[in-house]
């Protein structure tokens, strides 16, 4: 390859890296704005300032606010789901004592991760403004995040049942029950993480949820 071709390749790679950096900064900045202001109140100008990009960059990359909002929801949901699936794999892939191991999982599940705070602030805004958000955007969010996580939990529940620890007819429904029983009350009482509860109270709620789940599903 000639030196000229080498330089051309380096320039192209640098341009792709710059575009990627701008897109990442834009998604991160827009997440913070949408999490604070919601969809309807967030402005392109505010997002541009927070992301330190021009409004032209936003329109060039996404076209309009609705498309940007969907991209932010999907990106944030994917990253949060990736982190949650790691927890699922870590705590549900090898069960020895079903109650002890599920309690350990439940306590971790209800514990907030600071880096995920903007995502759950965005979730609060989504719930508040669901009637103003396109149905396709809501579906994209669910498929990128919550439904992926539920599928991962369901697969582990199937394996736990095969090992003889649980009696499960519908693993997908059992996954919903596990998450709701472990985290539902904590989610309601903290308003999706807006008002924190002491760790001891979160653990008490999670432990009670695990025991309720086992009352219905223990082999």
The DSSP element (H or E) to which 82 belongs, if any, is: helix 65-92
Would you say residue 11 has pLDDT above 50? Answer: no
Would you say residue 26 has pLDDT above 80? Answer: yes
Question: Per the structure block, which two tokens stand in for 213?
Answer: 């789940």
Confidence band for 113, pLDDT divided at 50, 70 and 90 = confident
| CB of 34 closer than 8 Å to CB of 126 | no
> Half-sphere exposure (CA, 13 Å, Cβ side) for 107?
12
Strand partners of residue 218: 166
Cα–Cα dist 70/114, whole Å: 23
What does pTM read for this prediction? 0.87
Q: Mean pLDDT throughout 104-117?
A: 93
Q: Provide the 10 A C-beta neighbour count for residue 42.
A: 22
Cβ neighbours for 215, distance < 8 A, ≥ 6 positions apart: none
**Residues 152-182 pLDDT 10s:** 999 999 999 999 999 999 999 999 999 999 9
SS3 97: coil
Kindly report the length of the chain: 219
**Residues 118-145 pLDDT 10s:** 999 999 999 999 999 999 999 999 999 9
The DSSP element (H or E) to which 166 belongs, if any, is: none
Give pLDDT, residue 22: 87
Buried b / exposed e across 119-136, counting CB within 10 Å, b at 16+? bbbbbebbeeeeeebeee
Angle between helices 146-162 and 65-92 (to 10 degrees): 20
- Cα 84–Cα 86–Cα 90 angle in degrees, nearest 5: 120
- Token pair 């020895």 is found at 96
Biggest CA-to-CA distance, the chain: 71
Q: Provide the 10 A C-beta neighbour count for residue 169.
A: 8
| CB of 95 closer than 8 Å to CB of 199 | no
Cα–Cα dist 124/119, whole Å: 9
């Amino acid at each position: 390859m000639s030196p000229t071709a080498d330089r051309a390749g380096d320039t192209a790679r640098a341009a792709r890296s710059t575009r990627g950096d701008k897109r990442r900064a834009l998604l991160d900045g827009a997440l913070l704005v949408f999490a604070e202001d919601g969809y309807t109140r967030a402005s392109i100008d505010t997002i541009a300032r927070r992301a330190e990009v021009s409004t032209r960059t936003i329109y060039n990359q996404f076209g309009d606010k609705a498309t940007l909002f969907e991209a932010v929801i999907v990106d944030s949901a994917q990253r949060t789901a990736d982190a949650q699936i790691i927890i699922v794999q870590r705590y549900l892939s090898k069960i020895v004592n079903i109650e002890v191991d599920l309690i350990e999982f439940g306590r971790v599940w209800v514990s907030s991760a600071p880096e995920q705070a903007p995502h759950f602030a965005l979730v609060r805004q989504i719930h508040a403004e669901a009637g103003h958000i396109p149905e396709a955007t809501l579906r994209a969010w669910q498929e990128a995040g919550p439904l992926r996580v539920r599928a991962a939990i369901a697969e582990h529940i199937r394996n736990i049942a095969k090992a003889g620890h649980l009696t499960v007819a519908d693993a997908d429904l059992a996954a919903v029950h596990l998450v709701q029983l472990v985290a539902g009350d904590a989610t309601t009482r903290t308003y999706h993480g807006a008002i924190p509860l002491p760790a001891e109270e979160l653990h008490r709620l999670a432990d009670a949820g695990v025991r309720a789940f086992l009352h219905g599903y223990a082999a």
